[in-house]
Amino acid sequence: MYYSIENKESGFTLIELLIAMTIGLIILTALSSTFLMQRKIYDVQEQIVEMVQTARAAMDMMTREIRMAGYDPTDSAGAGIVTVTSNSINFTLDITDDAETGPPDGDTGDSNENITYSLYTEDGIQKLGRKSTSTAVNQPVAENVEDLQISQSGNSINVSLIARTYKPDPDYTDPTYGDHYRRYTLTSVITPRNLNL
């Protein structure tokens, strides 16, 4: 009598195992590429959002303070626009006393009464700076500000600010500058309430 012994255990052949590993590797590569692409898009969008928020916050701060230029409730401080150049503005107002605790005192020599906005470079980064007195040093308002244009037109102060991302994007080329930085331009027309320009 002849007995047939059948192998009841089944497994993968070497070819099946190689095919499964190849398919898995292709899927893993596709997922990695998708993840890296999404991460790059996220990083670029994060830089753009930061650039826009920084530019808007800086413009908002300048706008609020320039509107107050010339504030002089005692009519004795001589507050007003001191100088406007192509990339800076200096103006005065009388908002406090010498101790910075009381009402206006008739001069513009106290802190935050002689304000200058201008561009300066520190640690290789161009910044929009603010001086709170004529002898103060620039305090940064915004970083990566590429250009600031200020002009006076009749009763208005025109301000244009160009901010850029802090890192270049190799997949983007700026059509105007030809480099890989993204830029955001913000303009404002400000009419100081306390002046007859």
pLDDT, the chain, mean: 91
124 found inside a domain: yes
Structural domain range at position 160: 42-190
pLDDT at 160: 97
112 found inside a domain: yes
Inter-CA distances, 38 with 25, 33, 34, 75, 92, Å: 20, 9, 6, 59, 49
Residue-wise pLDDT tens digits, 43-92: 999 999 999 999 999 999 999 999 999 999 988 888 999 999 999 999 99
33 found inside a domain: no
pLDDT at 4: 58
Is 150 within 8 Å of 85 (Cβ atoms)? yes
Whether the predicted pLDDT of 197 surpasses 90 = no
Is 137 within 8 Å of 151 (Cβ atoms)? no
- CB neighbours of residue 93 within 10 Å: 25
Is 174 within 8 Å of 163 (Cβ atoms)? no
Whether the predicted pLDDT of 5 surpasses 70 = no
12 found inside a domain: no
197 found inside a domain: no
| Tokens found for residue 87 | 């990339």
Is 82 buried (19+), middle (13-18) or exposed (0-12) by CB count in 10 A?
middle
Whether the predicted pLDDT of 100 surpasses 90 = no
113 found inside a domain: yes
pLDDT at 163: 97
Rounded CA separation 183/185 (Å): 7
Whether the predicted pLDDT of 170 surpasses 80 = yes
Structural domains in the chain (count): 1
103 found inside a domain: yes
Question: What is the band of 118 on the pLDDT scale with cuts at 50, 70, 90?
Answer: very high
Whether the predicted pLDDT of 1 surpasses 80 = no
36 found inside a domain: no
